[in-house]
Structure 1
Amino acid sequence: MRLIAVSLSPRPHRRVGDNGGVSTPEPADRLVAGRYRLRRLLGQGSMGTVWEAYDEYLRRPVAVKQVRLPPGVPQAQADELRERTLREARAIAVVSHPNVITLHDVALEDDEPFVVMEFMAATSLAELLKANGPLDTTQAAIVADAVAAGLAAAHSAGITHRDVKPGNVLVGPDGRVKLTDFGIARNVSERTLTRTGVMLGSPSYIAPEIASGGQVTPQADLWGLGATLFAAVEGNAPYDPDGAVVETIAKVVDGEVPQPAHEGPLRPIITGLMVKDPTARLPLREVRERLHPLLPAPGSPAYRSFAVTEDTPTVAPKPITPPPAPPPAPPGETSAPLAPAPGPLPFAAPPRRPGAAALAVAAVLLFMVAAAAGFALTRVVGGQAILPPDPPPTSPPASAPLRDLVPRTADAATLAGEQGGGFTIPAPADWVKFVEQRTARTLPNSTRVHWVSPDGAAELVVERFPNFYPKHTVGMYVRALAGRVPGYRVVGDMPLPDPAVPESARHITYRSVETAAEGSDVNRVSFANILPRSQDLWVVSVTVPIDQEDSGRRDLFTRIAPEFRPSG
C-alpha cells in the first residue's frame, strides 16, 4: 500500500465557492490583474488563500483564490506546475451548472496563479452537520440530488472532482446547494507528490482505489457522494476524521465498508455507492432516479430550513429551495411520475406455432405478387413504361458549413496599467474566454486573452507584450517559445506580409506535445502571427489537435488572424 499525505488543516467558515491553502496573506485592497480588488480574507490553508474580492470591470463580488506553489520546487518544475494549473482551470471553465461553483477567470501574477470564482454566501454541509446534527431524509435527498447533478455535469465535460465531501458542499442561506473545490490547488501539488508515490485526499471520504494509489476515474466521485450522504444521515463521517491518517487509510483500503445505521430509503443508495469495486457503484443517473421520489413538491415546508443553532452565526435559518423542478401541471391534471424500468418491448409478441407463421408469410407474398401485377398491367394499358424513368443527376451534397465566428472585443491590459490593450477579433461563438497574466525571465510581462473550445481541445490566444521595443526582438520571442512550450518544434517560419511593419512581422507554425492527466501524450499544432505594433508586440495564435491541422488552418486561423485589429 502506498503512503497517502492528507491535508488536515482546519477550514474556517467560508463565504465562497472554493477554499485552498495559504502562505503569507496578501494585503487587503490589492488590485489583481488590473480589475479584482481584494477586500477580505476568507480562508487559508497549506495550498493557498481565498479572498472576497470585487470585480471593478463588471462590478460584482467574486472569490479569488491565490494558489501557492509548494516551497523548494525547482524553477522548471514550478513552470510546469503553473501550466498544469492553467490547463486544469481551462477544463473546469467548461463546466456550467446551477449546482457547481462557476470559474470566471485565471490570472498569473508574480509567478503565482490567481483563480477567480463565483462568490456565494454559504456555509458548508460539514459545518451544518456539526452545528445541527444529521439531516432528515428529505433534506439529505435535496443535498444529494444537487451534488449528483453537479457531478453529472462535470463528468460529461471530462472533469473528475476527486474530493467530494461535506466540506466541499455549500448550502446558501437562500437554499442553493453547490459543489465546489474541483482541485485546482490540489492538482498543482499532485504533480510533485505523485512522483514519489504520495497523493492527496480526505481520509474519511477518499475512495479506496485512490487511497491505494490507483487510477483516478469518475467512479471515485461516486464513492465520495456515498460517503457524503452517509455523513448527512448519520451526522458523522464513515471513518473517524480524528483518527491516525495511516490507520484510517488502511481501513479504507483493506477494512470492511461501514454500513449506515439509518434504515430509511437512503440506505440502499449509500450502500450502492460505497462499493470497493468502482465499476459496481450506482451510476449517477440511477442515483437521481432513486432520489426523485424523496424530493418534496415545490413550496413544501420540508424546504423550510437547514437551521443552525445560536452558537453558529454563520447561516440564518432561512428557507431552502429545491433543485430546479418541472412546472406544475395544469388544473385538473396530475404530474406524471417517473417512468418505471422498461419491461418487455411492446413488439416482442409471444412465439407463434410454425404452421401459423408459414401461413402468414405465404399470405404476405401472395399480396405483394398481386399488387405488382396490377401495377404493371395499369402502366401497360396507359402506354407507359413499366419501370419509372431514371432520376435526373444531382450535384454532390454541399460540404458542412464552416464554424460560425462572431466579433469579440477584449482588453489585454496589464497589471501595470499600460494603455493600448484593446482589440477586436472574430472567435467561435461557443468558445469560453479567460485572461491570463504571464511573467518571463527573458521577455517583458505579457497579457494573454484565451478563447477555448467547449471540449478543451482547441484555443485561440491573443498575447500582448507592452513596451517590447526597443530592448527585445521578434527573434528573442521565437527562441523563448522553446522554453515555454513542451515538445516545441518549428515546422514553418516565414516573413508575414504586413503593411504596418513589412520587414519584421512573421508567421510560424510549430508543434507541441503535452502530457494529459492520465499520462498519455497529446500532440497539437499552433499557427501564430507575430505582429510588432509601435512599442508593443502582439501574437495571434490558434492551436488545434494535430489530426485537425488542415481544417484548423483553413477554417479557423486563416479566417481569424487577418481580422485581428488592435484598437488601443
Structure 2
Amino acid sequence: MVSEAEVEQATRVIAGRYRLVSVIGHGSMGTVWRAYDEFLHRPVAVKEIRLPPGMPQGQADEVRERTLREARAIGVLSHPNVVTLHDIAHENGDPYVVMELVPGSSLAHLLRSQGPLDTTQAAAVADAVAAALQAAHQAGITHRDVKPANVLIATDGRIKLADFGIAHNISENTLTKTGITLGSPAYIAPEVASGSEVTNNADLWSLGATLFATIEGHAPYDPEGDVIATLLEVVNGDVPKPSNTGPMAKVVSSLMIKEPTDRMTLAEVRRRMYGLLPEPGTSPFTLEDITEAESFIPAPKQPEPEPVVEPEVDSTGPSLADDPGPLPFAPSQPMLELDAEPTARIRRGVPRSLIYAAAVLLFLAAAGGGFAATRYAGGKSLLPTQPTVIQQPVVQPPEATPPGEFAVRNGDAATLKGTKGGGFSIKVPPGWDTFVEERQPKNLPVSTRVHYVSPDGKYELTIERFPDFYPSRKINQFKDSVQSTWPRDAFVASDPLILQYTNSFESGQYWKYNTVDAGVLRRTTYSNLMPMNDADLWVVSLTVPTVEEDTGKGALFDKIAPSFTLTP
C-alpha cells in the first residue's frame, strides 16, 4: 500500500543520482517510483524493495535476491519490446533497480477504459509480446507473469513487456519459499496452477489469456474471484473460448491448450500476425487512446537552470535554459503542452464521485472540453495559465489563502423511496456547486450522497446518509466497503479516532485514508463517521489533493465538519 511515509520520502535521492518523484505503483517485489536521473537529465523508473516491519533477516535477504533476479533477468535482454534496465543502485545496503520509464498506458487500463481492441491493435500487441518472449526464452528466461497489466503501450505506440519480478532463469536455483507468487490466477497456465514444473510453455498460455482479454475486453477467468476457486477452474474446468470469431480467436485457442507441448509456438504466432499488422512505421494506437486510458505520470521538477542573458530581450522577461537535447521518449504525434507544474490527465476509470464532479464542472465550463477535465484531474485551476508579458514586470501571485467566510447550506439526504429524516445543514465555502446521487454500496443499504465541489475542482465535500444502518451493521462494514472499491495497493488508511457522536450501538469515528488512481491521481480523504438517531449512519467527508492535505484539513475540514447538524 502507499504509505504516508512514501509520500514524505518522495524527495529522496538514491545513490546520489536518482531523485524519487512520485509513486507509480506496487509490484510483486516493492514500490515502483517515477524518478529523475540527475546525471543524464532524464526520467527513469526505480523499483525499491519493500520489507514488511519485523521480517526475519533470512527472508529479507531472499526478497533482496528476488530484486537482483529481476535485474539479472532484464539485464541479459536487449530488445525493443522489453523494458530496458539502466542501472542497479545501492542505498543503505538495499538494491534499487533503475529501468526505462515508459510514459503511456498499460494494456489493462486501455481495456478497462475502451473495451476490446480491434484486430490491428490486437495483432500489434500479440506480435510485440511474442517478440519479447522469444528474446527472453532464447536467453533462458521464463517470464511467468504475462498479463495485460504488464504490457505497456507508450505514447508513441511502442509496446513493451514489463515486470520480470518473478521471472525464472534456468541457470539459477528457483526460489520456492513462502511468499513467492507464481503470477495472476486469471492468466497463469494450468501446469503452474497445479504446481507442476514451470517451462517456457507456461508463457504461451499466459500470452493466449492476455490476447483473450485483448479481443474480448475481459480476462478468461474472473480476476476478482476467489483465488483457490480460480486455480481449480484453470486446472479442471473447460478452457474458455473467445466469442470473437476473427483471426485472433484462432491464435488464442491455439495458445490456451492445457497440454503445454501442444501450444502454438511464438514463431507461429508472429507469422500469423504478419498480415494483420499496421503499415511499417505507423502505430494502431493514437495518442488520444493512450492518454484517455491512463493518466500520464507527472514530470519531475527539473533542476533550476543557470540564468541565460540574452541582449535582445529585456532583463525583466523570462530567461531560458540551455537546450537539453532530444527527449528520451519523443512521441510520434505532438503532445499537449504542459504547464510548468506537472499536471495529471484523467482516465475513464476514476471513482464515480469524481466523474460526477467532473460532469458538473464541464457543464459550467463546456468550452474547456478535455482541457477542463485534465486540469480538474490534476487538482489544478480550470482557467488557462496566463502568458508572461515581455517588457512588463512579473508580479508574483500571492500565497494561497483559506477560503473566505463559509455560508450555511441546507441539504436533504432523503432517498428516492422517500425515507425521511435526511435534512441537514453545514457550512460550505462560497461558490461550491452541489449535486445529489443515490448509491447502492456493496453489502450496505442504499445511501443518499450530497456533493459540494469547489469551483476549481480540487476539493470535494460529501454528506452521505445510510438510513436503517443500525442495528444490523457496524461502522467497520462501511470502511470495508470503501476500501473494497480500490485496488489493494492503491489504498492506505490511518487508525481511526473516537468521536463524541454515539448512539445505542457504537461511537463515531474520525477516519483518514489516501488513494492513488493509476499511480498518478493522489487524493486524501478526511471523514467523520457519525451514528445518529439510533438508526442512521452519517458520513461527512472532504477529499483534497494529497499535496495539499495539511492545508485541506486545517483550513477546510476542521472548519466544515464541526458545523454539520441535522435539521427537522
TM-score of the aligned structures, taking structure 1 as reference length: 0.48
Larger Rg: 1
